[in-house]
């Protein structure tokens, strides 16, 4: 049986032809839960820590773990009557795949990765995850979580998810709503409807991010909850709802999945088919259409989430989510406060001293420093757009750039030269490559390097060096047991990272 048939078999397992919410014995028997983590975002509001090529889900802003690492462990110790899959499905982009694999490995988590060839928002991402969950003809309850949110009380989250999973068993699509603590204008709202027996509610509607006066009204009158972006549903129910409500997206995603390729724990959808799918969010594509749809559609249910949830959508939100000193200050890294009040300060390396500051955000990284009024942090997104328009590298990348073989740190640069510190993990190697516009000089400062240069291969040890002429094929490998560290001096007319012609690559980056 081919993959399309298996997926359709999973879909039909719980299709309810007579209307939403109709009981089904097979649906009620399902206790298998598969976490689906959406990790394809590229937020800019937490610049300069979050960048296009290293977004906020990959950094640690509220704890020792990164936001991604915290997310994949949120179902650890879930109620034993539910069978939680040991390997979650993580949907991400190609540019973040290797960092995500390393972070998951570091926190002891195996995962199945779906690598999107293009960004198409959350609805297609979830559809690929649902198709993977149905690909063996099975069906499961999906717990869909953004990878860049913070949850203070994981036990409270799990209790809400248990309630949501029971409604998902019977065919509902469930979202978690956060009872509002203040009239926030940066969140969408869910209008709650009829109360159900267990404290959940039917969804009465969705409201866009409101103006301040309307947000105040929502909080005052009640009946409106923040939209957390966490969803629970059976994989087959999502696919059926999408087939009815968004047939073009359903067909394009299914074609991309069926014609995709599996490489161990990594799945790559077919590129052209996936690029043909409409881009849309889970809310717009399906959730807002449940009550207004014609014909069959599942029931929409919302469960209250009172667990210290934050989407960390700004530096002010990060400040609000963290423990503060007696003056309301939050410091991370090498930070000193003197007479400061309600200030957030973060240091990636250098000492940051805040004297007499009030309601400020100060974020230091190796190549950029942000100083902002806490009431104006939503304007950081526009600031980054201006930096990007100037073609400044700080909008997209950090000075230290992660690679599947290790990392490099751009130490210095000037007209016709650039100096990098390159660290290669034991057993790893760079691609076999050449450059049309630059030559390179390598000096080993730690470890042992195996160098391929043209037709020759040789070893270099500490304090030894070699020269790579322009246009010559070359490769750097670490055959040793300790990290290999070299200083690379590039010289030439053009030193951009796109002047790399890969001839052979262990990590599938050729072309």
User: How far, in Å, CA of 139 to CA of 147, rounded?
Assistant: 23
Sequential DSSP letters for 134-187: HTTS---EEEEEETT-EES-HHHHHHHHHHHHHHHHTT-EEEEEEPPSS--SSS
Whether 3-310 and 400-504 share one fold: the answer is no
Residue 410: per-residue pLDDT? 92
Task: Say whether domain 3-310 belongs to CATH 3.90.550.10.
Answer: yes
Asked whether the beta carbons of 191 and 224 are under 8 A apart, the reply is: yes
Q: 348-376: per-residue pLDDT in tens?
A: 999 999 999 999 999 999 999 999 999 99
Residue length of the chain: 511
Query: Quick one: residue 71, left, alpha or beta (phi over 0 = left, psi -120 to 50 = alpha)?
Result: alpha
Q: What distances in angstroms separate CA 290 from CA 174, 244, 295, one per listed residue?
A: 11, 10, 10
Q: What is the 3-state secondary structure (H, E, C) of 177-225?
A: EECCCCCCCCCCEEEEEEECCCCCEEEEEEECCCCHHHHHHHHHHCCEE
Place of tokens 């490995």: 105
Asked whether the beta carbons of 421 and 487 are under 8 A apart, the reply is: yes
Strands (E), 222-272: 224-234, 261-263, 266-268
Q: What distances in angstroms separate CA 361 from CA 121, 347, 368, 370, 429, one per listed residue?
A: 30, 11, 14, 7, 40
Asked whether the beta carbons of 383 and 373 are under 8 A apart, the reply is: no
Residue 18: per-residue pLDDT? 31
Strands (E), 425-492: 432-434, 438-446, 449-453, 456-460, 465-468, 474-477, 484-492
Asked whether the beta carbons of 166 and 73 are under 8 A apart, the reply is: no
Asked whether the beta carbons of 109 and 195 are under 8 A apart, the reply is: no
Count CB-CB contacts under 10 A for residue 179: 13
Angle between helix 235-245 and 122-134 (nearest 10): 130
CATH architecture of the domain with range 400-504: Sandwich (2.60)
Q: 411-433: per-residue pLDDT in tens?
A: 998 999 999 999 999 999 999 99
Half-sphere exposure of 61 toward its Cβ, with a 13 Å CA cutoff? 34
Place of tokens 């490998």: 477
User: How far, in Å, CA of 43 to CA of 404, rounded?
Assistant: 22
DSSP 327: T
User: How far, in Å, CA of 293 to CA of 243, rounded?
Assistant: 12
The residue extents of the domains of the chain are: 3-310, 315-389, 400-504
Burial (Cβ within 10 Å: 0-12, 13-18, ≥19) of residue 80: exposed
Regions of the chain with pLDDT less than 70: 1-29, 291-297, 511
Cα of 267 vs its chain's centroid, Å: 17
Contacts of 161 (CB under 8 A, 6+ apart): 75, 78, 143, 176, 232
On average, the pLDDT of the chain sits at: 90
Q: What distances in angstroms separate CA 246 from CA 23, 138, 269, 358, one per listed residue?
A: 25, 23, 19, 49
Count CB-CB contacts under 10 A for residue 4: 15
Residue 71: per-residue pLDDT? 96
Residue 14: per-residue pLDDT? 37
Residue 345: per-residue pLDDT? 98
């Amino acid at each position: 049986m081919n993959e399309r048939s298996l997926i359709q078999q999973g879909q039909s397992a719980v299709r309810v032809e007579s209307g939403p919410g109709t009981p089904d014995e097979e649906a009620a028997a399902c206790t298998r839960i598969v976490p689906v983590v959406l990790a394809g975002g590229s937020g800019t509001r937490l610049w300069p820590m979050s960048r296009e090529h290293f977004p906020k889900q990959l950094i640690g802003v509220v704890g020792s773990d990164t936001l991604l690492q915290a997310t994949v462990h949120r179902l650890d110790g879930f109620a034993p009557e539910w069978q939680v899959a040991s390997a979650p499905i993580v949907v991400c982009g190609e540019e973040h795949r290797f960092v995500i694999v390393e972070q998951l490995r570091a926190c002891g988590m195996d995962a199945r990765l779906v690598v999107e060839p293009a960004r198409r928002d959350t609805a297609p991402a979830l559809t690929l995850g649902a198709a993977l969950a149905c690909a063996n003809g099975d069906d499961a309850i999906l717990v869909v979580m953004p990878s860049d949110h913070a949850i203070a009380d994981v036990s409270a989250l799990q209790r809400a998810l248990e309630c949501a999973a029971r409604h998902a068993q019977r065919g509902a699509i469930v979202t978690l709503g956060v009872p509002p603590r203040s009239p926030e204008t940066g969140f969408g709202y869910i209008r709650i409807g009829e109360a159900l027996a267990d404290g959940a509610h039917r969804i009465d509607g969705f409201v866009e991010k409101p103006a301040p006066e309307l947000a105040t009204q929502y909080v005052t009158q009640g009946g409106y909850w923040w939209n957390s972006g966490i969803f629970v549903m059976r994989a087959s129910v999502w696919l059926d709802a999408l087939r009815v409500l968004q047939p073009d997206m359903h067909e394009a995603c299914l074609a991309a999945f069926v014609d995709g390729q599996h490489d161990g724990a990594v799945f790559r959808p077919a590129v052209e088919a996936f690029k043909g799918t409409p881009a849309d969010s889970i809310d717009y594509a399906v959730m807002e259409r449940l009550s207004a749809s014609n014909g069959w559609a599942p029931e929409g249910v919302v469960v209250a989430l009172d667990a210290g949830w934050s989407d960390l959508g700004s530096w002010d939100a990060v400040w609000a989510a963290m423990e503060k000193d007696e003056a309301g200050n939050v410091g991370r890294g090498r930070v000193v406060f003197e007479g400061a009040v309600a200030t957030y300060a973060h240091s990636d390396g250098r000492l940051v001293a805040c004297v007499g500051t009030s309601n400020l955000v100060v974020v230091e990284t190796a190549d950029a420093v942000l100083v902002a009024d806490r009431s104006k942090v939503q304007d950081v997104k526009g600031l980054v757009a201006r930096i990007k328009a100037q073609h400044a590298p700080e909008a997209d990348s950090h000075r230290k750039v992660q690679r599947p073989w290790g990392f490099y740190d751009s130490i210095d640069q000037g007209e016709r030269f650039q100096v990098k510190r390159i660290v290669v993990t034991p057993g790893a190697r760079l691609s076999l490559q050449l450059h049309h516009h630059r030559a390179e000089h390598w000096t080993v400062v730690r470890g042992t390097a195996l160098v391929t240069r043209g037709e020759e291969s040789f070893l270099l040890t500490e304090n030894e060096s070699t020269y790579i002429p322009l246009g010559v094929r070359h490769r750097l490998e670490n055959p040793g047991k300790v990290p290999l560290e070299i200083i690379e001096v590039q010289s030439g007319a053009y030193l951009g990272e796109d002047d790399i012609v890969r001839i052979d690559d262990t990590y599938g980056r050729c072309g």
